[in-house]
Structure 1
Amino acid sequence: MKTHLTGRARSVLLGSTCCLLLVASGLDAQLFDTLKSLSPRLPVGDPALPASSRGPKSIAAADLDGDGLSDLAVSDKSGSVTLYYSNGSQGFSAPIILQVENAELRAIIAVDVNHDGKIDLLVASPFTGKVHVLLNQGGRKFEDHPFPAWVGARDLAVGDFNGDGTPDLAVAGPNMGLRQYEGLGDGTFASVVSFPEVDGGACGTGDDLPQPAYFLQSFRAPTQTRDSLVIAHGQGCARLWVLGSPPSGQLAILSTLSNLDVNAIAVGPILNPVASGIPDLVTSSLDGGYVEVRALIASTGTFADIPAQRIPISGGPRSLRMVDWDRDGWNDLAVVIRFFDRVTLYTNTAGQLKPGASVPVGHLPREMDIGDFNGDQQMDLAVVNRYSLDVTVVPGFLGQASFASLDQVYPVDGTVTGLSVRDYNNDGRADVVQLHIASGELSVRLSGADGHLAAPVFYPLGVRPSAQAVTDVNNDKQPDIVAVDLSGSVSVRLGQPDGTFGPEQRYVLPASLGGSLYAVVAADFDNDGNIDLAAGYTDCRLIFLRGDGHGNFTPAGDYDHPLYFGYEARSMAAADLDGDGDLDLVGAGMDGKITVVENEGNLLTTHRLKLKTFDSPGLQDIRSIEVLDENKDGDWDLFVTGPSGNALFLGGKGLEFSLAEKESFKVDVSGTASVMGDFDGDGKVDLAVADSHSNTLSLFVRKNDSSPWELALITAVPSAAFLASGDIDGDGKPDLVGSGEVLWTALSSRRSRVVPSAGEETGHAVMDQVVINEFLASNLTLPLDADGGRTSDWIELFNGSSVGLGLQGWSLQLIRETAPGESTTNTFAFPATAVLNAKGRLMVVAADKKRTPLHTGFAIPAEGGTLVLRGKQGQVVDRVDYPAQDADHSYCRFRDGARGWVVNPFPSPNQPNLDNGTAAPKLSFEGIDAPTARPGIPVRFRAKGRDDLGITTISVHWHRLDIQESVDHRAILFDDGLHGDGASQDGSFSGTLEAGLPAGARIQFYLQASDLTDKSIYAPFKPEQSLAVADRSLFTLSIEAAPTTLEISEVVPSNKNGLKDEAGRNPDWVEIRNIGVEKVELDGVKLAKKPYGADRYAFPKGLSLGPGDYAVVFCDAGRTPGIWHASFELDPGGDELFLLSVDGNGDVQILDNAKFGAVGSDIAWARPSAGAPLQILSPTPYASNRPGLWIGLLGGRAELILGTMIGEIYHLETSPTLTPAAWKTVLEIAGDGHDVNMRLDQESARFYRLR
């Protein structure tokens, strides 16, 4: 069956990079033109579809229209193929969307399959089990001739496997592995042979359609007349197969390489010149952080087991492409760096690959292809960006081993957390200052006459500076820098007239005011003529610091704790909002609320802030706030923006604000930074909004003060985390400056010039001494050459001075806490032979056994501790207090000898410390409080999180599945000590669904943790499709109408001499009981330490508990086989258990939970009555925890002690017979959580029951 696909062109104007909408005349064309040229990114997929339904998957570059220029075809999650036809130096055509399927597409390749001289497209559809053959009809039209493969077929490669000159096809995917198809020359294919041995299931990886991904490529060795094939797949198979083709033309496995971690494959000459035709095998390891090159074994047609080269590459190397970039006769290698959003070119010098030029691309790059897109006879790159939903085109620089870049785009490192554009050296041109949290520095770039920025000058500033303010703190009319720090300090550097900065002045908060600071506003809050500070914590608190006019700041009030302000107010501003002459404070929270603090003249000394809060419906994670008089009524208004949109609040009387109608903006836009200025030269203020999630900039203009804002331009930019404006080129017009992954300027005087891409920033400050430089405290899988390949911990020293040192008499100490207030110290003395050269490194092995003089004799605890380096006189040379460490992640200085410390996912013993970016936050879902998982009660969620820089927010994203609703919901979890979460900033988070859920409700949810650099991690994951679509892999919760009668009644976490199991052992145990009057079936009932963990104990099928019955589960990690043994153990130092009901759909109902503290051996934590809190009691397995519940029947009197639950109503009924109609209620009891003692006088035999 054939289908004609003509596609539909999207009605947008594309400059090569953007959607441009001009709505006003007189625009400054130069600034707009400069903006459009900054980032060559092309949107993919139908923009009419929601982002959750789109996502580019694969890319092919080829000349589809026969004009000699490479065009682009990109397959998409939505089932479409996006086509871009090259217009040479003018960029690309408008996108053409071919709707091929109604299901997700994967691999796409371009080849002429029917010998008509036109390039066709083949694309795989794994969920429908088809391969679509899109035959090129010319005129930008295609005809689809799909053929059936199998459900799971997802990856493709072409090659002439039978030597007949017609392209054949290799198809790979789960449920089959690999299948060869013969090309018949007319666009059809015939199945030849299958290879189920390369299927993911055969590797034991557990396929999850459409996973795992397969990587395959054909190649031809010299003297051969048929193509061979290499194939591997990810997700843990660790094998690669090489297949050759005998004269029959049917592929056969020639060899299998083991212990390879493969995430991409490229085959071609690397170790030899291109002209040799000798192919090598290049593979990348995403998690391992390296690329390997293996030589061809000519005699067998396979590749060597041992790599000829292993090149360490930080940031997750992904896609690979070979091309002779500099035309020296040797193939170079382009590598996508997935987690750094970059492409790096590794240049080839006589068979040796070395890192070269590197350029930023879009968000989460994956696949890549090459072609000449602009007609300059130099190969270019096109990179698929999964999360930003686009393609980045990276031009090559003609004749050089470099990419073409723009002179208005500058490299940055050190993780930017602040951007300021001001004239610092008084030359009439604005300069650029950036704050770097990872390196603990301030960088200054002075502007030149043509607006070009000079190389950065770095100044140490703080430890982990998180936010900055630029103001004149010492009244000399020179801008100074004030920075707040996650370490709980404030740093100041005074500006000098020549653009330099004076020495750092640092103030550390006292312990009572301690905490991580990450927001700051500088203003004169007490009207004394000196600048003061308002500093926000990474929770809900705020502190004011009084300035003395000399650059010194101290707490303004006599309060002994910070003040409550608003949740995570990352954006703050000061203005006289009520017109009383005092500067007020406004903050925009990550919860979408606007909080205004009224200054009544005592703002610096008050113990309680006067707050007003305003909601911004639907707006979350507010990142930017602008104070403006929008409607020119003399009252200040507020414009706020965040990833979920923007809002305008109009000021009224006093501190009143009202949410403006959406008509103020004709187009809604989201963003993470904003700035105002006259960018189009019409004399009216415009608004620029940058969005770091899509790396786009939107520019709004208006015809007059009363007209709505209209979108004049939306364009891709190289980075968009920060945005500022100033006159960089000195022409009297405002320019735009953005920063994040890179720094860029958009000048009003000229367009960017094409230059070779620049290298990394240099000139970082290095400590002029010996320092502890890097260490690995939890080495599980990384062999250490210095210890015979063992996975030992290690510590690296670095000498930042210009003089070599002998370390005889020096020592290294480890201090570890053994109990609160108690610690132990281990000391290693350096041997007399230990020498540390100038700018050199020395590594010691932290292992229990001292195998060499440079073995410490002790390991480093991963739980956290202190390392102290002491000199010959015992003096402290360096000291590092380090937090808990993750496995195979080192803790290191940002660069060798730098002050800032970062978590490094790619440890580098005895190698330079590189900027490997910041680590993603850590997130652990701890569960839901069982008593709150009831109808109408706010459900309380708990989580733990940590990050090397600081977590800004943890939230629960949820959606009800039992009803039809159009929106997802979000609940914030707090770590401020005010929301039942424990101590402030202790890493324990808690929050509730405030409204509660009704009986019968079913919700589906996941958690998100984000840090200061906007990196996020999800638990269990972030779904690609809508949260309204049921997905059994996500978390679920069901709210049942009837309360459960099952409870965890007793726990013995250290059983030494008590209850024995069937093997005669004494494992720890848990008892559950039925406190109801009806039998309860235990099918689907589970016991777990975490409600949503995989380690759950399931009660035996068919089991039930009658009224008052007990069951005991042994917790021995399965050491004794049996149906009553769980696969986990209990911690006698304190633990938590959950009793769950899980239905066939995976929906979870939390029946009960028991959290207990430390206890000695043979002691129980038990509930003395139904629903009562756990108490320490003597163990009573299979029996009541309170002996004597029934006191007895003496003299016609019975005594019953009933343990009650809060909110429950109990009915005691009696009857002389068991006839149903004879039962009568004699007592009604309202439960209050305590025991009720009931005495019953008897005259004759009677029956009693409780309901």
Structure 2
Amino acid sequence: GAAWGLDHEGMTYAAAYGDLDRDGDLDLVTVNLDEPVGIYRNDSADGNRILVELQGTKSNRFGIGALVRVETTDRREQVRQMNPATGFLSSNDPALHFGLGSATMITKLTVSWPSGMVQVLEDIEAGKIYTIKEEDAQDTKSDSVAPAPSKPFFSPSDVLAHAKVQEREFDDFSRQPLLPNKLSQLGPGIAVADVNGDGLDDLYLGGACGWPGALYLNEGGKKFGPDIDTPFDPDAIAEDMGAVFFDCDGDGDQDLYVVSGGYEAKEGASLLRDRLYLNDGQGTFSKTRGHLPELRDSGGPVAAADFNRDGSIDLFVGGRMIPGHYPTSPVSRILQNDGSGRFSDVTGEVAPQLTESGMATGAVWSDADNDGWLDLLVSYEWGPVRIFRNRSGVLEEATTAAGLASHLGWWSGLSAGDVDNDGDIDYVASNFGLNSKYHATANKPALLYYGDFEGDGTKKLIEAEYEDGVLYPVRGKSCSTRAVPHLAKKFETFKSFALAELKQIYRPECFRDSLKFTATTLESGIFINDGSARFEFHSLPRIVQTAPAFGSALIDCDGDGNLDLYLVQNHYTPQLETGRMAGGLSMFLRGRGDGTFEPVSPRESGLVVPGDAKGLACADLNADGRPDFV
């Protein structure tokens, strides 16, 4: 703004910084459309500083990639990496600027060159420009950069290279133009179990709408052959959102339940029926008829457990969305097993608070309060992680009493395990992360309204956020006028729309009659259990928040007795005006056994998943006693 001298109005498409007047601070250069280049001199006078220039010989001319670590007399430490290219069509001055505050001396300056050479300078003065040459460095390897282990924990395998799912293009935004994200590409589900009794884990990979699910049988851990005689092809039109193997009929083998969902189908369409496939004990499946109630929900998560302790496995099936009516709450259900593999909907009798509890994204059954009964925890988009405590086969919501109600997020999944070794179950919850335009807190939440904003009976979505205590729309003029055409006449310029408050754009009475959704927490994190099903939330390390997280697994991967954590990340289908969220490679974190985790670099873990990852399954695919990830 004007206080900084940056009050130019126009189109600027590139910017770079450097010390143009050699006074030790950084000046700014901008490239403007149809205008002269903008040059802004830095006139700040407060604080001490140094500028470090590098001259490489063995590495490269400017020392690109070198790490410079500065330690000052006030015990502060700063680290910079030489990387001039940080912006669009721009490259900064190849020099490193360190602001030192009141410190007048640098006790130690260490340069770690890309070649492995290391240089150390001690007791140097502030307020100067230093040129450091690689030819003066010692021929030793840096102690500040940990060498890669000779063998990573995990290595990629091509045993499932032939397994794939092809998404069919669908324009979600033609149905609801202001959707925050696409909803048609949130699957498919994945499930692992030994289906043919040979002692090896097999894999079911769910299908997308128009692409059938497939069963892959483990052939000695060295390859997976697709089941040729498959009952899944006739259901290719369905979107497989969730899947779980369990013994539904008590015959000792693993049957398969598949949740149908997605956004492509219309509300109540027949292709939204879930499916149950019975196993003959040899890994051959057949689709059941009449074993499930006639339900047509767009579902998501599914979790199996004997919640009423009658000896048969029951199901929680989470409602993920209502196609065309996001974000209204779909129906989640408890399906009770009669012992023969036939299910009935008993939600109204045993869990009435669960029915329309929100858009469910993940679920786990576990004994959260150590009373011997399995409780149900469910994560929600635009909601909290809810807990339904099991009172002798009846599920009662206890979200507020458990300390969970204040953490409203865009939660996308749950994993359960005792991460602090205190004898109770804690929960890892995946979330949207912090590397986006959204920044939600309890004081400045992200908001979503759903209502009739045109007076024509058609409901629309309006995202909003606080800026200096005032509520503004999140979405811009172009997409807003596509959804609400009358705004084009009311706001003829982009500037007028940008300056308008939310209440100036839409009639205030519209909001009174609208559904309101709130998000206050976007970090992925851990809910630590005190043993009585009361929880305290702890964010996962900052690097985990660089991308949206989805599937997660808690398992001891290194044999130290502590649970480790693995999450898959990224989101390729956001709103139209937002690019892919692809800042993650997946993240492996080593558990310390006290409820905290240490991030492990992909180089050390061997886990590099750069794509749009959603589902995650943990199994022992090669029967070596160690966990593998799919």
Give the TM-score of the pair, scaled to structure 2. 0.43
Q: Considering fraction of residues, name the structure with more helix.
A: 2
Which structure has more relative contact order (CA 8 Å, sep 6+)? It is 2
Mark the structure with the bigger radius of gyration: 1
